[in-house]
Structure 1
Amino acid sequence: MRLVTVGVSGSFPGPASPASAYLLQAHDGERDWNVVLDLGNGALGALQRHVDPLDLDAVALSHLHPDHCADLSGLYVYLRYHPERGGTRTGVGRRLPVLGPSTTADRAAAMYGLAAGESMDGEYDVRAWQPGTPVQVGPFELEPFAVYHPVEAYGIRVTGPSSVRPGERVTLVYSGDTDACDGLVEGARGADLFLCEAAFQEGRDDGVERGIHLTGRRAGEAAAAAGVRSLLLTHLPVWNAPDVAIAEALSAYDGPVAVATAGGVHEL
């Protein structure tokens, strides 16, 4: 399994990165598979450096804040109006699986500006997460688990074939947006790679209401409690210093820690 951190900027796009978008790739012996976890503001442009959007096999959304789902609108245009492979040219809609919270279909249609009663069913096959129920996409197994955020939100546990240890399967866990909660620890249990948000900073953001974001320290605490093998911090807003987030995480977790960068590639 290969992880490409397409967009890593927290809460909005930054000058060096789109908002949240993480491309997972694997080969099953017959073909390549491509799944995107979240598709926030600006991510569709950067995604095209790594894969043709028409070759996506699924989009999996942690929640419906714009920095995690806004580019569903642009992707819809790409799938529908591409001059060679688009639905209007071929006469056959793409029906790309879009996995997400219970209101995903309505939110996607509203963002695009469709009239009441209209849908994106021609290009999207929207399916609501059922916590604890895995979804199979080719060689990937995606299992959502509820996390602590002001809206319906999920972390996603992904199991797939290792790209560095042939014949083995590995697990990546994506936190989505969350504050500390038992569900996060259980969902991340034993992960080979924990892709975890760290949008807040100790001291500076202590007065902000709980239930919004993790700090580097709280991400490290969750990683330690879950016994993960490595921690990759992400979703840092532009005003956060990566070295501060790493130092906070290392105060609670003694495994490998890094901060995700736009376009970074990680082989599991």
Structure 2
Amino acid sequence: MSLLRLTFLGTSAAQPTLHRNLSGLAVKVDTDLLLFDCGEGSQRQMVRFGTGFTVDAVFFTHFHADHYLGIIGFLRTLGMMGREHAIHLYGPPPARRLLHQAVHLGLESMSFPIEIHEVKDGDVVPRNGYSVQVVGVDHRINALAYALVEDGRPGRFHLEKAKELGVPPGPSFGKLQKGEAVTLEDGRTVRPEDVLGPARAGRKLVISGDTRPCAAVVRAAKDADLLVHESTFSDDEQARALETHHSTAREAGRVAREAGVHRLVLTHLSSRHDTEPAKLLAQAREEYKGPLEVAYDGFTLELPLRD
């Protein structure tokens, strides 16, 4: 896979504001489109920011209302668009009960299959060229983080070395790059390791969901290309963070530092920091020295391939 693009649909905690919608993140993975959480109004944000509606799966971090009630209208919009193929919904228990209620709210029947999957810490959802790994976190209710992990890629193809070995340009080059051996006209066999450099690691994206800073997220985010971590509160709201099992921006920065992530994006802001997130940014910066941003609705970024 080559494209890995994130579009933040909603970056507010608990309640929408004039500037920020409720939680929602669209992730484009080559031809796949995934949603992580689907707060109220997410479908309007998808129109506004041009993500499209060809969603393959929705991953819910937990079932506080601000993270999942938008799925009701979203599914009905898909039906009105004539969708016929299945959509997959993933989340922690009680996903089956709550999502079944949401799916069947109202009198309209769905025109396409809806597959509901309950997942738990340690589960892995395989996808084409990547997987979504499930991580248990520390929140007031059963809650998850998700790590999107790209499959490893072959090493760089050394064109001159292939020519020296007599490999003809064309399909043989492609076979070697895919890890297949090639037999030449003179009977010699050229193997991938003869013309490829060391294998390259795939990219890793980690989405914390709502959580206190916890070791599970640090482990999951080790060497991640990007950590998207909730930062609901500032230092002077530490007591509130403990009470509600959320994180401060400083704590999010500490998680990023301990995990050695390459980039940190803060999201899920309390309305207190709606239009003035500079305090959160500064406090996270004291803990984490790498690339750091506070997300806003419509914020879009792409993760480049690893060298």
Sort the TM-score into its range (normalised by shorter chain).
0.7 to 0.9
Letter in 2 for 1:245: L
| Correspondence for 2:92 | 101
Per the normalisation by structure 1, the TM-score is 0.85
Which residue does the alignment assign to 1:78?
Answer: 77
Deviation at 1:99, TM superposition (A): 0.8
Q: In the aligned structure 2, how far is the partner of 1:139 from the partner of 1:219?
A: 29
AA aligned opposite 2:7? V
For the Cα contact (< 8 Å) 1:148–1:211, is it kept in 2?
no
Structure 2 distance, partners of 1:152, 1:135, is: 19
Partner-residue secondary structure (3-state), 1:169 = coil
Q: Per-residue deviation at 1:9?
A: 1.3
Are 1:216 and 2:249 counterparts?
Answer: yes
1:236-255 Cα distance to aligned partner (Å, 9 max, x none): 12211311111111111111
Residue 248 of structure 1 corresponds to 283
For residue 13 of structure 2, what is the aligned residue in structure 1? 10
Q: Note closer, same or farther for the CA distance 1:194–1:67 as it changes in structure 2 (3 Å cut).
A: same
In 1, the alpha carbon distance for the partners of 2:45 and 2:233 equals 25
Give the secondary structure class of the aligned counterpart of 1:204.
helix
Q: What amino acid does structure 2 have at the position aligned with 1:99? A: Y
Alpha-carbon displacement from aligned partner over 1:124-175 (angstroms, at most 9, x marks no partner): 211111322211233331101000001110010012389xxx9862111000
C-alpha distance in structure 2 between counterparts of 1:75 and 1:100, whole Å = 17
Cα pair 1:97 1:126 within 8 Å, conserved:
yes
- TM-score (norm. length: structure 2): 0.75
Aligned residue number for residue 52 of structure 1: 52
Q: Is the 8 A contact 1:62 1:101 kept in 2?
A: yes
**Unaligned ranges ≥5, structure 2:** 157-199
Classify the secondary structure of the residue corresponding to 1:156: strand
Read off the aligned partner of 1:98 and give its amino acid letter: L
| Residue type of the alignment partner of 1:263 | G
SS of equivalent to 1:262: coil
Q: Say whether residues 1:174 and 2:233 are aligned partners.
A: no
Instruction: Work out whether 1:149 is the aligned partner of 2:139.
Output: yes
SS of structure 1 residue aligned to 2:271: coil
- Displacement of 1:111 in angstroms is 4.1
The corresponding residue for 1:128 is: 118
1:192 and 2:231 are equivalent in the alignment? no
Instruction: Please tell me whether residue 225 in structure 1 is matched to residue 258 in structure 2.
Output: yes
Q: 2:227 is aligned with what amino acid?
A: F
* Higher CA-based Rg: 2
CA distance in 2, matches of 1:19, 1:98: 19
After superposition, the C-alpha distances for 1:190-209 in whole angstroms (9 at most, x for unaligned) are 11111000001112342554
Counterpart amino acid of residue 58 in structure 1 = A
Going from structure 1 to structure 2, the CA distance change for 1:57 and 1:207 (only over 3 Å counts) comes to: closer
Alpha-carbon contact 2:23-2:268 (below 8 Å) kept? yes
- What is the distance in 2 between the residues matched to 1:221 and 1:122? 44
SS of aligned partner of 1:239: helix
Residue 120 of structure 1 and its aligned partner are, at CA, apart by 7.1
Instruction: Report the Cα distance in structure 1 between the residues aligned to 2:14 and 2:237, rounded to whole angstroms.
Output: 17
Q: Distance in 1 between matches of 2:17 and 2:63?
A: 19
The residue matched to 1:46 in structure 2 has which SS?
Answer: helix
CA change 1:121–1:61 in 2 (3 A) is farther
2:136 matches 1:137 = no
Aligned residue-pair number: 250
Report deviation, 1:177: 0.2
- Per-residue deviation, residues 172-193 of structure 1 (Å, max 9, x unmatched): 1000000122112112111111
Q: Which has the higher helix share?
A: 2
- 2:235 matched residue in structure 1: 202
Aligned to 2:67: 68
Structure 1 counterpart SS, 2:235:
coil
Same amino acid, percent of matched pairs: 27
